[in-house]
Amino acid sequence: MAVDTAWGEIQGLEAAPGVRTVGELELIELVGQGAALIDCRTAGSFGGRTIPDSVLLPHDQVLERRSELNPGRLSILFCNGPQCPQSPDAIRQLLEVGYSADALAYYRGGMHDWVTLAMPTGPRED
């Protein structure tokens, strides 16, 4: 599989200080324990598919829609993958308005790694 390097810059392993970065197995375990899975991609930056049970909250709407997040529940944010800045941007925005780093996690692999590993996807409804 070829990776298109023209759509972004490699993001750091850590989205922000104190925010946990998770892989696929941790994501599955945490969602099974009740964590929310947040798709931060905007409408023009995806192929119509997402990770099952995720909730759409585009990074460019995260501040105005942050009331949709439960600060008492871990939220795992993801986007297109290691080259996509959308979920790190959403995480930084939430931290800037006082959201606790302990309430956020970053799935850096995003849709790129999820699909590469042949994990299940579902339709994304905007």
Strands 49-50 and 122-123 come out as antiparallel
105 Cβ neighbours under 8 A, 6+ residues apart: 19, 20, 21, 22, 26, 30, 35, 74, 75, 76, 77
pLDDT tens per residue across span 6-61: 567 888 889 999 999 999 999 999 999 999 999 999 977 666 789 999 999 999 99
pLDDT at 3 over 60: no
pLDDT at 126 over 70: no
Query: And the tokens for 66?
Result: 């942050």
Supply the mean pLDDT for the chain.
Answer: 90
May I ask the CATH class of domain 13-123?
alpha beta
> What are the two backbone dihedrals, phi and then psi, of residue 29, each rounded to the nearest 5 degrees?
-65, -45
Res 2: pLDDT:
40
pLDDT tens per residue across span 88-109: 999 999 999 999 999 999 999 9
Res 13: pLDDT:
87
How many percent of the chain have pLDDT more than 90? Answer: 78
Predicted structure pTM score: 0.90
